[in-house]
Amino acid sequence: MADPTDKMENIINLCKRRGFVFPSSDIYGGFNGFFDYGPLGVELKNNIKQAWWQDFVHRRDDIVGLDSSIIHHPTTWKASGHIENFTDPLVDCKESKMRYRADQLFFAPVRVAGETIGYISVLEDETMSAKAEEMANEMKRKLAKQGALEPLTLKDYTEAKPEEHALIPSPATGKPGSLTPPRSFNMMFQTYVGAMQDASATAYLRPETAQGIFINFKNVVDTGRVKLPFGIAQIGKAFRNEINPRNFIFRSREFEQMEIEYFIAPSADWQTAHQGWIEGCLAWFESIGIPRAKLSLYPHPTEKLAHYSKGTTDIMFEFPFGVQELQGVAARGDFDLTQHSDVSGTKLDWFDEAAKARFIPHVIEPSVGVDRVFLALLTTAYHEDEVEGEKRIVLRLPARVAPFKAAVFPLLKNKPALVERAEALYRRLKKRLNVFYDESGNIGRRYRRQDEIGTPFGITIDFDTIEKDAGVTVRNRDTLEQVRMTEDEVVRFLDEQVNG
Ligand code: GAP
Tens-place pLDDT, residues 403-450: 999 999 999 999 999 999 999 999 999 999 999 999 999 999 999 999
Q: Can you tell me the distance from the alpha carbon of 326 to that of 273, in angstroms, rounded to the nearest whole number?
A: 20
The closest residue, in CA terms, to atom 18 on ligand 1 is: 369
Q: Tell me the CA–centroid distance for residue 152 and ligand 1, in Å.
A: 32
Give the DSSP letter of residue 244.
S
What is the position in ligand 1's atom list of the atom closest to the CA of 369?
16
**Sign of CA pseudo-dihedral 53, 56, 59, 61:** negative
Instruction: State the average pLDDT over residues 361-368.
Output: 98
Q: Can you tell me the distance from the alpha carbon of 457 to that of 480, in angstroms, rounded to the nearest whole number?
A: 9
Report whether pLDDT(224) > 80.
no
The closest residue, in CA terms, to atom 27 on ligand 1 is: 369
Q: Predicted confidence band at 125 (pLDDT cuts at 50, 70, 90)?
A: confident
Give the DSSP letter of residue 142.
H
216 in ligand 1 pocket by Cβ < 6 Å? no
234 in ligand 1 pocket by Cβ < 6 Å? no
The closest residue, in CA terms, to atom 16 on ligand 1 is: 369
Q: Give the residue ranges of DSSP H helices in 18-67.
A: 39-53
Q: Tell me the CA–centroid distance for residue 460 and ligand 1, in Å.
A: 43
pLDDT in tens, 178-196: 999 999 999 999 999 999 8
What was the pLDDT predicted at 3?
A: 73
Q: Tell me the CA–centroid distance for residue 37 and ligand 1, in Å.
A: 19
Closest to 294 (Cα-Cα) out of 365, 401, 377: 377
pTM score of the predicted model: 0.93
What is the position in ligand 1's atom list of the atom closest to the CA of 251?
24
Instruction: State the average pLDDT over residues 201-223.
Output: 97
Report whether pLDDT(25) > 50.
yes
Q: What mean pLDDT value characterizes the chain?
A: 96
Report whether pLDDT(2) > 70.
no
Long-range contacts of 437-444, Cβ-Cβ distance < 8 Å, separation of 24 or more? 437/407, 437/408, 437/409, 438/407, 438/408, 438/409, 439/409, 439/410, 439/413, 440/413, 443/409, 443/411, 444/388, 444/390
372 in ligand 1 pocket by Cβ < 6 Å? yes
Report whether pLDDT(1) > 60.
no
Instruction: State the average pLDDT over residues 149-156.
Output: 96
What was the pLDDT predicted at 303?
A: 85
Radius of gyration of the chain (CA): 27
What was the pLDDT predicted at 433?
A: 97
**Beta bridge mates, 383:** 394
Q: Can you tell me the distance from the alpha carbon of 359 to that of 220, in angstroms, rounded to the nearest whole number?
A: 16
Q: Can you tell me the distance from the alpha carbon of 500 to that of 497, in angstroms, rounded to the nearest whole number?
A: 6
What is the position in ligand 1's atom list of the atom closest to the CA of 315?
14
The closest residue, in CA terms, to atom 17 on ligand 1 is: 369
Report whether pLDDT(5) > 80.
no
Q: Can you tell me the distance from the alpha carbon of 263 to that of 331, in angstroms, rounded to the nearest whole number?
A: 10
Report whether pLDDT(287) > 60.
yes
Q: Predicted confidence band at 117 (pLDDT cuts at 50, 70, 90)?
A: very high
The closest residue, in CA terms, to atom 2 on ligand 1 is: 367
Name the E strands within 166-292: 183-186, 190-192, 202-204, 230-239, 254-264
Q: Tell me the CA–centroid distance for residue 66 and ligand 1, in Å.
A: 19
242 in ligand 1 pocket by Cβ < 6 Å? yes
Closest to 250 (Cα-Cα) out of 401, 498, 35, 437: 35
What was the pLDDT predicted at 4?
A: 74
325 in ligand 1 pocket by Cβ < 6 Å? yes
pLDDT in tens, 326-359: 999 999 999 999 999 999 999 999 999 988 999 9
CB 287 within 8 A of CB 373: no
Q: Tell me the CA–centroid distance for residue 370 and ligand 1, in Å.
A: 9
Closest to 237 (Cα-Cα) out of 256, 259, 251: 256
CB 18 within 8 A of CB 40: yes
What was the pLDDT predicted at 361?
A: 98
pLDDT in tens, 227-249: 999 999 999 999 999 998 999 99
What was the pLDDT predicted at 305?
A: 87
